């Protein structure tokens, strides 16, 4: 089981390097009551760790502070089929070097690009921080505005390690 998750995590890292966002989800975790993103990120065994950047980049609409039981977190995407590869296409936008942060906010940028602030921040995590907008930063966005993963043919993966970790946290603190 550990080796399976190791393969998934290595696959995710590989996909992130080719900007695998806006994709067709192949495998996902179903959130259980009490799950939090930090449980996946801080898991003591590296084979079970899923970094925040992976969670955010692959799931741009996720709210890690408010996970709901039954919601899905995609952990493995389709990067093999023509349709899956087509979902990787992102546009690039360069933040002008002469922009005025008092007049041009992340909210205005998101509106201009047909996205939400959260989608832009997560898609470009950790580079884009709307509290500290950087000049000349090149960000990625979906021209069609479709950031929500397609779970229609996705297979749920049993991931109870976060639950075990949360039990340990409760007993150790």
> pLDDT tens, 90-145?
899 998 888 777 778 889 999 999 999 999 999 999 899 888 777 788 999 998 88
User: What is the per-residue pLDDT for 22?
Assistant: 62
DSSP state of 55: H
Give the tens place of pLDDT for each residue, 9-30.
Answer: 444 433 333 333 467 998 898 9
Give the tens place of pLDDT for each residue, 42-99.
Answer: 877 676 678 888 889 889 999 988 899 999 999 888 878 888 888 778 899 998 888 7
Q: What b/e sequence results for 13-41 when a residue is b if at least 16 CB atoms lie within 10 Å of its CB, and e otherwise?
A: eebbeeebbbbbbbbbbebeeebbbebbb
Higher pLDDT, 149 or 9: 149
| ∠ CA 169-165-31, rounded to 5° | 115
Rounded to whole angstroms, how far apart are CA atoms 127 and 150? Answer: 25
Grouping H, G, I as helix, E, B as strand and the rest as coil, residue 113 is: coil
The model carries a pTM of 0.71
- Under the banding of pLDDT at 50, 70 and 90, the label for residue 160 is low
Give the tens place of pLDDT for each residue, 66-82.
Answer: 899 999 999 888 878 88
Does the pLDDT of residue 173 top 90, yes or no?
no
């Amino acid at each position: 089981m550990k080796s399976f998750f190791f393969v998934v995590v290595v696959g995710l890292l590989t996909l992130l390097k080719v900007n695998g966002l806006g994709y067709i989800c192949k495998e996902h975790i179903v959130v259980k009551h009490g799950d939090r993103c930090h449980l996946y990120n801080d898991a003591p065994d590296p084979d079970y760790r899923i970094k925040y950047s992976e969670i955010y980049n692959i799931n741009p609409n996720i709210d890690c502070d408010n996970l709901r039981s039954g919601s899905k977190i995609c952990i493995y995407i389709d990067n093999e089929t023509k349709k899956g590869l087509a979902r990787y296409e992102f546009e690039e936008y360069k933040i002008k070097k002469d922009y005025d942060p008092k007049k041009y906010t992340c909210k205005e940028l998101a509106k201009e690009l047909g996205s939400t602030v959260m989608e832009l921040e997560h898609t470009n995590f950790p580079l884009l921080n709307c509290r500290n907008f950087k000049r000349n930063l090149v960000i990625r966005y979906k021209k069609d505005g479709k950031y929500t993963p397609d779970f229609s043919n996705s297979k749920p993966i049993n991931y109870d390690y976060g639950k075990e970790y949360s039990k340990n946290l409760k007993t150790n603190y």
